[in-house]
Amino acid sequence: MLVLLLNLAFFVAFMLLLGRLSSQGLTLSRQVLTGLLFGVAAGFTMQLFYDVTTIARTLEWVNVVGSGYVRLLQMIVIPLVLVSIMGAVARLHNAATLGKISLLTIGTLLFTTAIAALIGVGVTYAFGLSADGLVQGARELARAEQLEAQVANVANLSLPQLLVSFVPRNPFADMTGASPTSIIGVVIFAVFLGLAALQLLKDSPEQGKRVIAGIEALQALVMRLVRLVMKLTPYGVMALMTKVVAGSNVQDVLSLAAFLVASYVAIAIMFLVHGLLLTLVGINARRFFQKIWPVLAFAFTSRSSAATIPLNVQAQSQKLGVPASIANFSASFGATIGQNGCAGIYPAMLAVMIAPTLGIEVLDPLWLATLVGVITLASFGVAGVGGGATFAALIVLPIMGLPVALAALLISIEPLIDMARTALNVSGSMTAGSITSKLMGQTDEAVFARDEQPEAASPAMG
């Protein structure tokens, strides 16, 4: 008990120091970086001096801060998506603009996912990774049985059925996050509410104005709520990073080091692709990544694209100069469609590792084109939470005639890879939003060029 109390006192001291530094007018970016470094230091110290049992007991309490912050973000995701998209549509005054935003955003997400799949194939082949020789322990065997039980339900879902599943039958159920595609259901419901408000404005201007005024008031309220929660980001990142570092098993990492390194190489290459695409449309990629990296840091530590939506929207609209309508669409769609890391790179790597064991030639053009096409289409509806990559693999591998057991063998290092995959997913959604905004000529260049201000002096949201 004494050791536990000392550990918690050590962690609280870090938090108090972080709070003191934050009160001195640091920008949010520097606060997040400081919190991340504190988390690494705290986790590494636990690894050095304490046994597994003591670390686990300590992390239970540290997790109150980390998971508590993630839950707060999850709490505001649905209200933010619903109100923001409803307001964005109601202010468009042009349904054609809505269609163009959706087409460009989703098109960019799917295009980058196809590129991510090709990168996953290329890196896996270059590293010579194979499913042969991987050892199954008790945990892996149990996981394999669980995946085999799930695969029948997932594999039997055809593409038309998947598309129909996006249409909300009960929007209130979707608001509870009842399914992996709940976010898309809420987006569709919000779009129709916004279009209804536009129609009401035409048919009955007085009533329409009152409805739109009410939507704007709700949006202002929700954005103030987002701002309150965002102030806790450095503490949440610190707690989450402490858990990641302290809870990592060195032996597990070493045993699958080649796959871990190959995954990070593929993810790094895809980040470069994002930068190249941004540059091609006239966006300064270096400045783009400088502005969004606090959001990527949270995505990295939380492993949740959906929980990152509030930070994603705020960064796009207030740092990148992307209009609220486009920012909300790209952040919401990007949490469930075209996830470059989870739905693009990961299933491609697994497929390439398994294929040679079944006598399949990986570089066969027809097989390769089929794999990329399946991955791109299957990226619709991948859950924006931890485990979304496994869900994507459950769809892709059976369609390609490949067993899913390999996903179970990688369970021990999944969290370490999933962190980087999630950051890439979020980067992809923000890249799609920025490209869409630039191509439509709606980017506020003054906002994009503006240096970040200290948190205490930043403008109010909404």
pLDDT digits (tens, 9 = 90+) for 201-243: 888 989 988 998 998 898 889 888 888 887 888 898 888 888 8
pLDDT band at 454 (very low <50, low <70, confident <90, very high): low
The region of weakest confidence among 45-54, 312-321, 375-384 is 375-384
**Confidence (pLDDT) at 405:** 66
The mean per-residue pLDDT over the stretch 419-437 comes to 94
Number of domains present in the structure of the chain: 1
Q: Is residue 154 part of a domain?
A: yes
Residue 104 pLDDT exceeds 60: yes
**Pseudo-torsion of CA 290, 311, 241, 16, nearest 10°?**
100
Helix-, strand-, coil-residue percentages of the chain, each rounded to 5: 80, 0, 20
Q: What is the DSSP string of 400-426?
A: TT--SHHHHHTGGGHHHHHHHHHHHHH
**Confidence (pLDDT) at 178:** 66
**Confidence (pLDDT) at 159:** 58
Residue 92 pLDDT exceeds 80: no
Question: Which position has the token pair 């840091």?
Answer: 297
Residue 137 pLDDT exceeds 80: no
CA distance 342 to 348: 10
CA distance 321 to 443: 5
pLDDT band at 94 (very low <50, low <70, confident <90, very high): low
Using DSSP, state whether 462 is helix, strand or coil.
coil
Q: At what angle do helices 95-127 and 324-334 cross, to 10 degrees?
A: 40
CA distance 324 to 400: 39
Query: How close are the terminal C-alpha atoms of the chain, in Å?
Result: 47
pTM (2 decimals)?
0.77
- As given in the structure block, the two tokens for residue 393 are 């693999």
Q: Which residues contact 229 (CB under 8 A, 6 or more apart)?
A: 69, 72, 73, 75, 76, 310
The mean per-residue pLDDT over the stretch 326-349 comes to 88
Using DSSP, state whether 194 is helix, strand or coil.
helix
How far lies 250's CA from each of 133, 323, 412, in Å? 20, 44, 10
∠ at Cα 369 (365, 370), nearest 5°? 120
Q: Is residue 303 part of a domain?
A: yes
pLDDT band at 139 (very low <50, low <70, confident <90, very high): very low
- As given in the structure block, the two tokens for residue 224 are 């103030």
**Confidence (pLDDT) at 462:** 36
CA distance 242 to 61: 11
Residue type, 299: A
Q: Is residue 459 part of a domain?
A: no
Q: Is residue 462 part of a domain?
A: no
**Confidence (pLDDT) at 439:** 95
**Confidence (pLDDT) at 410:** 65
Q: What percent of the chain has pLDDT over 90?
A: 26
How far lies 400's CA from each of 24, 146, 374, 389, in Å? 55, 20, 8, 16
**In contact, 131 and 451? CB cutoff 8 Å:** no
The mean per-residue pLDDT over the stretch 444-457 comes to 74
Residue 383 pLDDT exceeds 60: no
**Confidence (pLDDT) at 250:** 67
Least Cα distance to 449 among 315, 321, 345 occurs for 321
CA distance 43 to 223: 33
**In contact, 320 and 291? CB cutoff 8 Å:** yes
CA distance 173 to 131: 40
Sign of the Cα torsion 102, 113, 278, 288 reads positive
Q: Is residue 224 part of a domain?
A: yes
Q: Is residue 451 part of a domain?
A: no
Structural domain that includes position 367: 2-442
pLDDT digits (tens, 9 = 90+) for 1-39: 777 888 788 888 888 888 887 777 777 778 888 888 888
- How buried is residue 2: exposed, middle or buried, by Cβ count under 10 Å (0-12/13-18/19+)? exposed
Q: What is the mean pLDDT of the chain?
A: 81
Q: Is residue 327 part of a domain?
A: yes
- How buried is residue 382: exposed, middle or buried, by Cβ count under 10 Å (0-12/13-18/19+)? buried
105: domain CATH number is: 1.10.3860.10
- As given in the structure block, the two tokens for residue 122 are 């290329």
How far lies 55's CA from each of 44, 62, 117, 144, 234, in Å? 11, 10, 37, 28, 22
pLDDT band at 455 (very low <50, low <70, confident <90, very high): low
